[in-house]
A and B are shown apart, each in its own frame.
Chain A
Amino acid sequence: MKNRFVTIVAAALLAFPMLAQAAPVKIGFINSITGKEAQIGENLTNGASMAIEDLKAKGIQVELVKEDDGGDPKNALAAYEKLVTRDGVVGVVGPYTSGCANVVASRADQYQVPLLVPAAAKEEITMKGYKNVFRLNAPANVYSQVLMDAVKAFKPKTIAYVYAATDFGVSTVKTAQENALKMGLREVANEKYQQGQPDYRPSLSKIKAANPDLVFLVSYDADAILLMRQAKEIGLTPKAFLGAGAGYTTAQFAQQTEISSLVVSASQWTDDVNWPGAADFGRRYKAKYAKEPSYHAACAYEAMRIMVETASREKTAPKLRTALKAGSWNGILGPVKFADYAGFTNQNNHPMLVQQIQNGKYETVYPAQFSKKTLVYPFKR
């Protein structure tokens, strides 16, 4: 009898640590797999999958629960609630768009499950003092800040804004206006547009009539190509086109050299930056998916890596939160630390890069310590 008991205990002792090891940490991933933002969503999916594979190669197992929000905040919230209540994940990476991330962030403290936002730019997300919301990428104000810093030396005098009527567009332009004010730039036109329209010529003609030095654009995906095409058509030639992220940083945009050449854009990441593993990530991504990675892919990769590495060590949501807050990392997105500064909470003070399309390729042109090429100014056809 005693013997049998010992055997059972021994067996249980043997079985238990194995069980604990076999049960990998559960992480949720909310992304726009379908809907309007699906193209950028695919970059995030691919980046995150590469992170999971790399971690597996290092012996870190993870059970990833993927949810699609279709770019809709209400689906994103439903997905987050499902992940934390039904799936019991210890941490969540995502969602992609500002609108979705903002809504989910507002509930993270209620459920006490850390949320790591990889690429949403709206400032508010990390400005409300939420303890469980962390953001890897730089917020919207940095987009305009870094773009204007890059052209500051050329002393432009006037600026016009063209932007999508989305959370990202409106918040980016709002901070751009503040930055422009500080630089002494005079605003000569302000055109907000609804996405996916076939004709932007009337808005662009108005901009052309105002003849600004700088044209500041915020657009997703294909709208960027449409706008630049029609800008060429009506002969809009400012001294510089400044594209804030998203649609102006895709490989497809760069390929349209006739319209995209010399357009300046802000990016969270480029593959020619000298952060550890950045170039290698770019190469492996291209080999695997036969596509150029956008900065979203790199952000998703790094967010997933940080989340899984930390979560697999900490196991529970409250410990994960403490570890994310205390930790620091250095990877393909440069040094990462979630800090409290200038009204932000748990925000990584990520340095953004300015790139310009030269000969159909994105070249990093600013800040000088990260770049090999110099900015071409003024813009010419």
Chain B
Amino acid sequence: MSFLQPLISGILTGGVYALAGIGMSLVFGVMNISNFAHGDLMMLGMYLAFFAFTLLHIDPYISLVLIIPISFLFGYMMERIFINKVIHHPHQNQILLTIGLGLIMSNTALLAFTSDPKILTTTYSSSAFTLFGDVSVSVPLLLSFLITCGITLILYLFLSKTSTGMALRATSQNREAAQLMGINVAKMSAIAFGIGTALAATAGALIAPTYYIHPLAGHTFLLKAFTICVLGGLGSVVGAGVGGIIIGVVEAMSSTYLSSDWKDVIVFLIFLAVLLLRPQGLFGKKGGQ
């Protein structure tokens, strides 16, 4: 079997992990909050895509046009109502708050949508094409990957070229100094949380056509997103992107050459090695949190 098969499939799956990780990293960078509701926000994205598809008959990839603004507003409001109350509190308070919000979301979904997993079947859900003779490439995964690249590029341009983006980065680098320079850091926090939520929901919507939709489905990805963030360096958007791809590839490689039973072991061994040798993460700033 070709070496390229697990490589390509790993990169494509890693793309979606990366998107989930980037959202979490951005929130951490700007607000210094570990968002444990991130997986549940992804789950909301999955359900939004599912209902857009079944009720409005919109293709899950096109429905992103609706999902991104809705989830941005949701995240923005969530920050305004809940998160900013604990922004200066110790970490454990913030963690408890976000875990609590996540539990409320997943259990509300459990009540509203029941525990039956929903399956979003599009015409291309199980279609693939062949490259180099024997490497099969999943069409929905490839589409998700391309959209991820597009969104990451837009995010990059937004952060580096626009004044709001620069204000966000300034807040991320030094909250107090940014405030002294006249940046409205409270607003920046709300924007960052909105973007983080939108990215989580997008990741959820992108994975919906190839995964199943369940009120607790986000939890699998929460742990992945967290690992990616720490691996890439908490707060580093680039790090999260690279971290996501690394995890995707390592998972695919270890299930091909060892056993899929071992893939989590390999992922966490690498994770531990990074923590030991480079505690700030691959792209993290030294002395950061």
Q: A217 to nearest B CB, angstroms?
A: 13
Contact A221 B117 (CB under 8 A): yes
Q: B126 to nearest A CB, angstroms?
A: 4
A199 to B264, CA, bound (A): 13
Q: Which residues of B contact A38 (CB under 8 A)?
A: 110, 115
Q: Does A209 contact B (CB under 8 A)?
A: yes
Q: Does A322 contact B (CB under 8 A)?
A: no
Residue with the greatest number of chain A CB neighbours at <10 A, chosen from B16, B116, B255: B255
Closest B residue to A210 by CB, please name it.
Answer: B1
Q: Does B220 contact A (CB under 8 A)?
A: yes
Q: Please list 10 pairs of residues, one from A and one from B, whose beta carbons are closer than 8 Å in the complex, sorted by A's number.
A: A35-B216, A192-B260, A193-B260, A198-B220, A199-B13, A222-B117, A222-B212, A230-B126, A234-B136, A258-B126
Q: Which residues of A contact B248 (CB under 8 A)?
A: 199
Q: Does A145 contact B (CB under 8 A)?
A: no
Contact B126 A199 (CB under 8 A): no
Residue with the greatest number of chain A CB neighbours at <10 A, chosen from B114, B126, B259: B126
Q: Which residues of A contact B252 (CB under 8 A)?
A: 199, 201-202
Q: Does A196 contact B (CB under 8 A)?
A: yes
Q: Does B84 contact A (CB under 8 A)?
A: no
Q: B229 to nearest A CB, angstroms?
A: 18
Q: Does B54 contact A (CB under 8 A)?
A: no
* Contact partner, B261, options A165, A205, A209, Cβ 8 Å: A165
Q: Does B169 contact A (CB under 8 A)?
A: no
Contact B13 A226 (CB under 8 A): no
Q: B279 to nearest A CB, angstroms?
A: 28
Contact with B along A165-205 (1 / 0, CB 8 A): 10000000000000000000000000111101111111101
Q: Does B127 contact A (CB under 8 A)?
A: yes
Contact B211 A206 (CB under 8 A): no
Q: A210 to nearest B CB, angstroms?
A: 10
Q: Does B125 contact A (CB under 8 A)?
A: yes
Q: Does B121 contact A (CB under 8 A)?
A: yes
Q: Does B251 contact A (CB under 8 A)?
A: yes
Interface size for B (C-beta < 8 A) is 39
Q: Does B41 contact A (CB under 8 A)?
A: no
Closest A residue to B211 by CB, please name it.
Answer: A198
A229 to B208, CA, bound (A): 13
Q: Does B104 contact A (CB under 8 A)?
A: no
Q: Does B207 contact A (CB under 8 A)?
A: yes
Q: Does A309 contact B (CB under 8 A)?
A: no
Q: Does A42 contact B (CB under 8 A)?
A: yes
Q: Does A252 contact B (CB under 8 A)?
A: yes
Q: Does A115 contact B (CB under 8 A)?
A: no
Contact with A along B242-268 (1 / 0, CB 8 A): 000000100111011001110110000
Query: Which B residues lie at the A interface, using CB under 8 A?
Result: 1, 5-6, 9-10, 13, 16, 110, 114-117, 119, 121, 125-128, 136, 138, 207, 210-212, 214, 216-217, 220, 248, 251-253, 255-256, 259-261, 263-264
* Contact partner, A191, options B128, B217, B253, B259, Cβ 8 Å: B259
Closest B residue to A232 by CB, please name it.
Answer: B126
Q: Which residues of B contact A232 (CB under 8 A)?
A: 126
Contact A226 B212 (CB under 8 A): yes
Interface residues of A in 309-338 (CB under 8 A from B): none
A201 to B6, CA, bound (A): 8
A165 to B110, CA, bound (A): 25
Q: Is the interface of A mostly helix, strand, loop or mixed?
A: helix
Contact A198 B116 (CB under 8 A): no
Considering the complex of A and B, which 3 residue pairs feature the smallest CB-CB distances, nearest first? A38-B115, A222-B212, A222-B117
Q: A261 to nearest B CB, angstroms?
A: 12
Contact A198 B210 (CB under 8 A): yes
Q: Which residues of A contact B121 (CB under 8 A)?
A: 256, 258
Contact A225 B261 (CB under 8 A): no
Contact A252 B256 (CB under 8 A): no
Q: Which residues of B contact A158 (CB under 8 A)?
A: none
Contact B211 A39 (CB under 8 A): no
A209 to B115, CA, bound (A): 36
Closest A residue to B207 by CB, please name it.
Answer: A198
Q: Does A36 contact B (CB under 8 A)?
A: yes
Assuming A193-B261, A235-B128, what are 17 further A-B pairs, CB within 8 angstroms? A34-B110, A34-B115, A39-B116, A196-B220, A197-B220, A198-B207, A200-B260, A201-B252, A202-B251, A203-B255, A203-B256, A203-B260, A222-B212, A225-B212, A252-B117, A256-B119, A258-B121
Interface residues of A in 220-258 (CB under 8 A from B): 221-222, 225-226, 229-230, 232-235, 252, 256, 258
Q: Which residues of A contact B115 (CB under 8 A)?
A: 34, 38-39, 41-42
Q: Which residues of B contact A142 (CB under 8 A)?
A: none
Contact B5 A233 (CB under 8 A): no
Closest B residue to A225 by CB, please name it.
Answer: B119
A229 to B141, CA, bound (A): 13
* Contact partner, A202, options B16, B116, B128, B256, Cβ 8 Å: B256
Q: Which residues of A contact B255 (CB under 8 A)?
A: 193, 202-203
Q: Which residues of B contact A225 (CB under 8 A)?
A: 119, 212
Q: Which residues of A contact B211 (CB under 8 A)?
A: 198, 226
A205 to B251, CA, bound (A): 14
Q: Which residues of B contact A51 (CB under 8 A)?
A: none
A130 to B4, CA, bound (A): 53
Q: Which residues of A contact B9 (CB under 8 A)?
A: 199, 201-202
Residue with the greatest number of chain B CB neighbours at <10 A, chosen from A200, A201, A221, A229: A201
A35 to B212, CA, bound (A): 15
Closest A residue to B251 by CB, please name it.
Answer: A199
